[in-house]
């Protein structure tokens, strides 16, 4: 294709056509700058968004299934409250999942079933349907979902009171930290959780050793912090407990920022109803680890503990009055499948007559993430719009440069036409000039972006040192900025610059193709 | 020669320009050129010789009239192909592409015809042969900026012959050259016509060149008249 070789020849800088050379160089540099800016910006924001969503779902899941009011009104849920074999106690999802009995009711022992209750859900063989176990089975067997893990969760609240013993010049001093907290189930099968656990510091180790010394007894200074073990089910997290120190809890980073250390002991307090009054209950706990909740809205108050502890606290509350306090977490590796997983599970529940009992949400629909994710999405759209405008401005230079080039190359256009070049070929030559400039700018910008992203942290640290404070607040952005190259951003700028460069080349190309060779050759 | 087929047939060609004032420059010209025929067109400056040449070479569109080249009636769709395959121009100002070497200039019509021009290709070999024919084999890789006027015109002639055209249209081919160089250019062009059995139309003021052609026409008042006693 000779048109491209002629276009490249025209774009080669020459002293003779200095103005065109300078304008083309500036145009290419401006495009490169814009491409660099967009690729770096979108790579970082894309990475941040990915991290935020990852951390959000580390505490929850890409898809959550929670009981509806119909579940709490069902015979299946309420029957435990009047059954002797269930100790006349309503069961949580976790307990229902581990229960041996589907229907604990014994008409010979238990009181009469109120007439206002819903009828029990019966399967085709006339047996009571186990709503929880059946739902778990359907969710765990969803087709075409990679790394699917289904686990139950519970969420409740309590008050955490920590006693922090610290060394000072006057000797050991005790401080206390008290805060109302949310309590969530520590799920050892959650692969995302291991990614957000913060490393043990020297101060933590020292504090743990001191607490062990203070507690006395025969506590081994080993396996007291949250750790990963490998067993037949693969890698699993372990949140330890100790008979003297208490139940290990995983506290959010905000506790660490408030001065807490691993090993700090305290009590988890909550109120439970007795036959005569509400009594305060104390459970001994200690901090076995810290995690980074990211921008999870209630993350600074969200403590993770083993299911047994959560169940104990949770059972003191009337479950139906605390929405979304229990259910199933459905985890899988590709978050883009969330909507598909939700639809498939809804369909499966519908087919099995279980749909009225469950509310299914993807991470984009959670009450505490919906606004944030919509905001992220809106910002992304706004920046995409801005990026498009910036690319248009950068590429508009090409139009002026090509018009000058067409005027400069009038004689050559005439000569080429006299040799048989068609007007379409002439248009292609100048259109190709625009495309080549766009492509050259994109390549330079992309290479610069790769280089910048590789050294992003050093650059951020340098700017931070120059201005005297961190360039990005670690609370929101984490300790390091993501530097993964965004191919999505690259695709966007390449398509945009190529398209706009081509459009920018069209006007000069048409102008060039309209030139009458006879006029040019006669004038010369 | 009389039995040979016509390479160019022009019937009733008219051309007028509207700006700045309406001027009818060509008034119904008929011209028939046979294969192997050399035709000279002379006339005073401003009579429309170059315009006529551009009409014949499809660079200019006639207001009316018919033009047939190498058996094909010229229209908007085939004129670029006709220019590339059947017609070649030699201009007074050479009109070489300055950013290219002599060889690249010679091969440009082949490039436009989408032929391969890499080293060793047929077009490349032909380009070298043509430069050798015009006596410039040692200048093939020279930038055209470094060549003299005579050398530039030789390159232009080699370029004109690249796609083996049926008709060469030469507009004052030696107008910018000294006598000796001009004579060598005239010989080159007319030898080509003679040996390759091609046709040529030369617009010139040079009577000695015109006298070397088979026929000479005078363009006057928009009409083409065969010069008597020629």
Q: Which residues of A touch B113 (CB under 8 A)?
A: 420
Determine the angle formed by the axes of helices A18-59 and A487-514, rounding to 10 degrees.
150
CB B137 within 8 A of CB B103: no
Q: Shortest CB distance from B54 goes to which of A416, A421, A518?
A: A518
Secondary structure element (H or E) that encloses residue A192, with its range: helix A191-196
- Establish if A518 touches chain B: CB-CB under 8 angstroms: yes
What pLDDT score was predicted for residue A523? 58
Residue A241's φ and ψ, nearest 5 degrees, are -140, 160
Phi, psi of A269 (to 5 degrees): -115, 145
Q: Tokens 């192909």 correspond to what residue?
A: B81
Identify from A420, A422, A519, A520 which residue to disrupt to test chain B contact, counting B C-beta atoms within 10 A and taking the largest count: A420
Phi-psi region of A468 (alpha: psi -120 to 50; beta: other; left: phi over 0): left
Q: How far apart are CA A440 and CA A454, in angstroms?
A: 21
A524 touching chain B per CB within 8 A: yes
Judging contacts by C-beta atoms under 8 Å, the chain B residues touching residue A517 are 59
Would you give the DSSP letter of residue A259?
A: T
| Chain A nearest-CA residue for B59 | A518
Q: Which of A419, A423, A522 sits opposite B108 (nearest CB)?
A: A419
Please check the confidence at residue B63 and state whether its pLDDT lies above 50.
Answer: yes
User: Which residue of B lies nearest to A3 if distances are taken between CA atoms?
Assistant: B112
Judged by CB atoms closer than 8 Å, whether chains meet at B80 and A423 is answered as yes
Q: What is the ipTM of this complex?
A: 0.92
Closest chain B residue to the Cα of A524, Cα to Cα: B93
A164-183 b/e with 16+ CB inside 10 Å = b? bbeeeeeeeeeeeeeeebbb
- Reading chain A (524 residues) residue by residue, the pLDDT tens digits are 889 889 888 888 887 778 778 888 888 899 899 899 889 888 888 888 887 777 777 788 899 999 999 999 999 999 998 999 888 888 888 889 988 888 899 989 899 999 888 888 888 888 888 999 999 999 999 999 998 999 998 888 899 999 888 888 888 888 899 999 999 989 888 878 888 889 889 999 888 888 888 777 666 666 778 877 777 767 788 888 888 888 999 999 999 989 999 989 999 998 887 777 778 889 999 999 999 887 777 778 899 999 888 888 887 776 555 665 789 999 998 888 999 999 999 999 999 999 999 999 998 888 777 887 788 788 888 988 998 898 888 888 888 888 888 888 889 999 999 999 999 999 999 988 888 888 899 999 999 999 999 888 888 888 888 888 777 776 666 667 777 788 888 888 888 888 888 888 888 888 888 888 887 776 55
Contacts of A495 (CB under 8 A, 6+ apart): none
> What is d(CA B53, CA A493) in angstroms, rounded to the nearest whole number?
50
Choose the mutation target among A418, A429, A523, A524 for the interface with B, i.e. most B CBs under 10 Å: A418
Identify the pLDDT of residue A138.
96
CB neighbours of residue A45 within 10 Å? 17
Among candidates A244, A230, A167, which has minimal Cα distance to A194? A230
Q: Find tokens 């249209």 and name the residue.
A: B169
Chain B residues with CB-CB distance to A518 below 8 A: 51, 54, 59-60
Please indicate if any CB of chain B lies within 8 Å of the CB of A498.
no
CB A157 within 8 A of CB A333: no
Nearest CA in chain A to B54: A518
Report angle CA B160, B165, B168 to the nearest 5 degrees: 60
Instruction: Output the six-digit token pair for B174.
Output: 């030696």
Closest chain A C-alpha to B17 CA, distance in angstroms: 12
CB A493 within 8 A of CB A36: no
Question: What is the average per-residue pLDDT within B146-166?
Answer: 92
Note whether A15 contacts B: Cβ–Cβ < 8 A: no
A2 in B contact zone (CB under 8 Å): yes
Is B113–A420 a contact, with Cβ atoms under 8 angstroms apart? Answer: yes
Chain A contact set for B96 (CB, 8 A): 415
Cβ distance of B83 and A522 shorter than 8 Å: no
Rounded to an integer, what distance in angstroms lies between the CA atom of residue A40 and that of residue A44? 6
* Interface touch B95/A521, C-beta < 8 Å: yes
């Amino acid at each position: 294709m000779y048109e491209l070789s002629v276009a490249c020849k025209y774009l080669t800088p020459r002293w003779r056509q200095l103005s065109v050379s300078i304008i083309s160089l500036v145009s290419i540099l401006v495009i490169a700058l814009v491409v660099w800016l967009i690729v770096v910006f979108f790579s970082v924001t894309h990475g941040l968004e990915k991290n935020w969503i990852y951390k959000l779902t580390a505490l929850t899941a890409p898809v959550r299934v929670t009981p509806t009011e119909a579940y709490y009104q069902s015979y299946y849920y309420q029957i435990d409250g009047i059954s002797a074999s269930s100790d006349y106690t309503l069961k949580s999802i976790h307990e229902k999942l581990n229960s041996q009995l589907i229907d604990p009711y014994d008409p010979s022992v238990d009181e009469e079933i109120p007439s206002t209750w819903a009828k029990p859900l019966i399967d085709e063989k006339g047996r009571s349907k186990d709503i929880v176990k059946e739902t778990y089975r359907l969710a765990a067997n969803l087709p075409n979902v990679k790394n699917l893990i289904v686990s139950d969760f519970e969420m409740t609240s309590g008050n955490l009171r920590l006693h922090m013993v610290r060394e000072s010049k006057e000797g050991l001093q005790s401080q206390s930290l008290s805060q109302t907290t949310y309590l969530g189930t520590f799920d050892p099968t959650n692969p995302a959780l291991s990614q957000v656990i913060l490393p043990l510091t020297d101060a933590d180790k020292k504090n743990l050793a001191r607490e062990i010394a203070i507690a006395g007894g025969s506590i081994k200074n080993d396996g007291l912090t949250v750790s990963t073990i490998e067993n037949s089910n693969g890698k699993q997290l372990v949140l330890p407990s100790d008979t003297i120190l208490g139940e290990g809890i995983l506290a959010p980073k905000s506790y660490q920022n408030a001065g807490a250390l691993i090993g700090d002991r305290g009590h988890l307090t909550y109120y439970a109803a007795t036959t005569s009054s509400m009594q305060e209950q104390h459970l001994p706990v200690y901090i076995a680890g810290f995690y980074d909740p990211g921008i999870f809205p209630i993350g600074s108050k969200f403590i993770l503990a083993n299911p047994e502890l959560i169940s104990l606290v949770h059972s003191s509350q009337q479950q139906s009055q605390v929405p979304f306090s229990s259910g199933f977490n459905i985890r899988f590796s590709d978050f883009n499948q969330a909507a598909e997983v939700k639809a498939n599970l809804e369909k499966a529940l519908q087919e099995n007559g279980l749909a009225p009992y469950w509310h299914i949400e993807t991470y984009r629909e959670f009450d505490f993430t919906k606004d944030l994710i919509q905001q992220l999405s809106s910002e992304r759209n706004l920046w995409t719009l801005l990026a498009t405008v910036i690319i248009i401005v950068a590429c508009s230079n090409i139009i002026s440069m090509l018009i000058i080039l067409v005027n400069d190359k009038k004689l050559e256009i005439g000569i080429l036409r006299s040799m048989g070049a068609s007007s379409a070929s002439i248009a292609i030559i100048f259109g190709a000039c625009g495309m080549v400039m766009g492509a050259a700018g994109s390549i330079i910008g992309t290479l610069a972006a790769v280089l910048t992203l590789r050294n992003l942290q050093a650059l951020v640290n340098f700017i931070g040192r120059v201005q005297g404070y961190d360039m990005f607040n670690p609370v929101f952005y984490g300790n390091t900025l993501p530097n993964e190259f965004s191919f999505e951003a690259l695709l966007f700028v390449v398509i945009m610059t190529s398209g706009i460069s081509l459009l920018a080349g069209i006007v000069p190309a048409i102008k060039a193709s309209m030139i009458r060779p006879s006029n040019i050759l006669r004038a010369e | 020669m009389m039995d040979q087929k016509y390479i160019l047939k022009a019937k009733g060609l008219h051309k007028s320009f509207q700006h700045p004032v309406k001027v009818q420059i060509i008034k119904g010209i008929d011209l028939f050129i046979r294969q192997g025929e050399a035709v000279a067109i002379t006339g005073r400056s401003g009579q429309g010789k170059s315009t006529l040449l551009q009409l014949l070479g499809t660079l200019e569109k006639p207001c009316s009239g018919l033009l047939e080249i190498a058996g094909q009636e010229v229209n908007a769709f085939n004129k670029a192909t006709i220019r590339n395959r059947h017609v070649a121009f030699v201009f007074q100002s050479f009109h070489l592409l300055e950013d290219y070497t002599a060889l690249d200039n010679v091969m440009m019509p082949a490039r436009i015809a989408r032929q391969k021009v890499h080293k060793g290709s047929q077009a490349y070999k032909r380009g070298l042969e043509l430069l050798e024919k015009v006596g410039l084999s040692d200048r093939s890789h020279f930038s055209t900026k470094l060549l003299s006027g005579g050398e530039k015109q030789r390159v232009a002639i080699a370029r004109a012959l690249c796609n083996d055209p049926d008709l060469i249209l030469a507009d004052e081919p030696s107008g910018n050259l000294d006598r000796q160089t001009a004579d060598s250019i005239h010989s080159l062009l007319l030898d080509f016509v003679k040996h390759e059995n091609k046709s040529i139309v030369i617009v010139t003021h040079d009577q000695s060149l015109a006298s070397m052609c088979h026929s000479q026409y005078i363009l006057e008042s928009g009409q083409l008249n065969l010069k008597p006693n020629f």
